[in-house]
Amino acid sequence: MAPLDRSSSSGRALPATLNAWTNFLTDTELPAFARTVSEVTRIAGDPEASAYKLASAITKDAAMAARLVKLANSPLFPSSHGNIQTVDRGVVLLGFDAVRDLAVSLSVIEQVIRGQSRDALLEEMALAFHTATQSQTLARLAQDKESAEIFVAGLLYRIGVLAVLSSPDPRVEDYLAEKADFDPNEAVQIARMEKRVFGCDMTQLSRRLAQHWSLGQVLQEALAPDPSQAGERIAAGRRIAEVAMRRGWESKEANELLSRVARKIGLKLSDIREKVHESSEVAREMAAQFGATKVAPLIPQTAQGIAKSKQAESAARDGRGTAGSANTDAAETEGDAGTDGRFLRPDPLLQLQMLGRMAELLNGKPDLNRLVHTAVEGVHRGIGMDRTVFALLTGKQDAVAAKFVLTEIEERLQASFRFSLRPEVNPLLAAVIGQRKAFWVRKDSPPDERKLVRGPFAQFVAKEDFVIHPVLFGDKCIGFLYADRANSHRPIESSDEASFRQFIQQLTLGLRLLGVR
């Protein structure tokens, strides 16, 4: 039977062959994704390309860069890599291929999220994340070498389905209605139905897109008619994810499947069950880190995972301590600062939104004031700072004064934030402007660094943690971005400082574009 013959709302003929679907998704549905993939894979595939070039291509998309850095420090990669705080360091430590695959998968998820918000699409994305973590777990248990690549390949294993479900194609509803009548194990019958409805089955489309978009060798081998060992791990991970979602972790089907997987790998069923159950929690965490917050709750939890979630919710309701507990004064002060409604807490999702807003500003004709104000707001509200200041050189260039200020407490901060740049008065500020140095000063910083904080500026920071970074316009330093937690006395963690630099990178890129234009 021929594919259903329909036209889109615009009157354009709908794709009805494998080639037509590939061209449609590349040129019409996901062109921004296709461009990103093309640029990233071109650089990553060039033996002459440097880590800097690949990092620069990714950093153009601030939201992607921020998520990639967070993922580089997630359970996806071994902790032996250390704390990766920038994209270029991630390229060096993780390798071109790993960073390329991460960037591509991030771009896929972003484009899919922007598509149709069908329940079926969210479920398919939940299966994708669950497949990815289960595939990686099986690979690690079997001591395979390419577990990180298997995660990304597992995530994109059904890229054809994700792409089609995110499209406005009217045939999708017919497809979903018919598919509901099939058991997931009836793969051959489902493929025939897909070919009748769309002109190709989803495995064929996934394979073609993986080749056309250069989505990594591991994924292409997994989708081949004769799949690789990695492909077998991914197929098993997919079956585990499907059974958990359709039948539940305690079902007979789940136990039988895990028994077969345990025999295949040569491990005890109890060991496999423990690791697979842990992976479901990791899958929820990874979905959130990829920005798919609506997807995470759809990944089935184990009984142990549900119990932990309830404990966490109970602890959050009860607060950090209980009445009558024997806390020290210092601990009470720290707890009060942490829960005081006047002080902001880090909000990774808001950080990504503000970085994305900055990127959008750069797509049109950048407005300097809006760009800087968005950066200040992103640092202040997204990272959870007490005081955030963008300061500019004064007319005589012998001092700096606040241009934009955000604070929850000190209403007159903008009027009072003005400091001399004379080295003998403010050596740290003089180094920021004159030598273009950035500083992350903490309570436990070396004495030589703390000695640079003097005079009125020392009174302003009051021995608390702060971060400060020069802001460049062309080849000139025009001021700096400063943030602290002096009011709440909270520390600035390494993750906060890394996020701060992400905003600086995006602001610097914007000012560079303004200088060129």
Residue 432 lies in a domain: yes
**Count of residues for the chain?**
517
Based on the fold, state whether residues 281 and 356 are members of the same structural domain.
no
User: Tens of pLDDT along 49-104?
Assistant: 666 677 777 777 666 777 777 777 776 676 545 567 677 777 766 777 777 777 77
Based on the fold, state whether residues 291 and 352 are members of the same structural domain.
no
DSSP state of 296: G
Domain CATH number, residue 87: 1.10.3210.10
- Give me the number of domains the chain comprises: 2
Contact 58, 103 (CB under 8 A): yes
Structure confidence at residue 314 (pLDDT): 59
Q: What percent of the chain has pLDDT over 70?
A: 78
Residue 413 lies in a domain: yes
**Mean pLDDT over residues 325-349, rounded?**
52
User: Tens of pLDDT along 31-59?
Assistant: 656 666 667 667 766 656 666 677 777 77
- Strand stretches in 313-465, DSSP E: 387-393, 399-407, 418-420, 439-441
- Tokens representing residue 441 in the block: 């000063």
364-369 long-range contacts, Cβ below 8 Å, gap at least 24? 365/517, 366/510, 366/513, 366/514, 366/517, 368/511, 368/514
Contact 415, 501 (CB under 8 A): no
Mean pLDDT of the chain: 80
As a whole number of angstroms, the distance between CA 275 and CA 258 comes to 11
387-393 and 476-484 as β-strands: parallel, antiparallel, unpaired?
antiparallel
Domain CATH number, residue 490: 3.30.450.40
Residue 104 lies in a domain: yes
Please state the pTM of the whole predicted model. Answer: 0.59
Residue 270: Cβ within 10 Å count: 10
Residue 341 lies in a domain: no
Q: 113 Cβ partners below 8 Å, 6+ apart? A: 291, 292
Stronger pLDDT, 100 or 451, i.e. the higher one:
451
Based on the fold, state whether residues 250 and 191 are members of the same structural domain.
yes
Q: Predicted confidence band at 19 (pLDDT cuts at 50, 70, 90)? A: very high
As a whole number of angstroms, the distance between CA 501 and CA 376 comes to 12
Residue 2 lies in a domain: no
Residue 6 lies in a domain: no
Based on the fold, state whether residues 282 and 389 are members of the same structural domain.
no
As a whole number of angstroms, the distance between CA 229 and CA 244 comes to 23
As a whole number of angstroms, the distance between CA 213 and CA 220 comes to 10
Residue 324 lies in a domain: no
Based on the fold, state whether residues 375 and 273 are members of the same structural domain.
no
Structure confidence at residue 236 (pLDDT): 93
Structure confidence at residue 146 (pLDDT): 62
Based on the fold, state whether residues 271 and 411 are members of the same structural domain.
no
- Parent domain of 376: 348-516
61-65 long-range contacts, Cβ below 8 Å, gap at least 24? 61/36, 61/107, 61/359, 62/355, 62/356, 62/358, 62/359, 62/502, 62/505, 62/506, 63/110, 63/291, 63/352, 63/355, 63/356, 63/359, 64/36, 64/103, 64/106, 64/107, 64/110, 65/355, 65/502, 65/505
Residue 385 lies in a domain: yes
Based on the fold, state whether residues 255 and 352 are members of the same structural domain.
no
Half-sphere exposure of 46 (CA within 13 A, CB side): 13
Structure confidence at residue 44 (pLDDT): 61
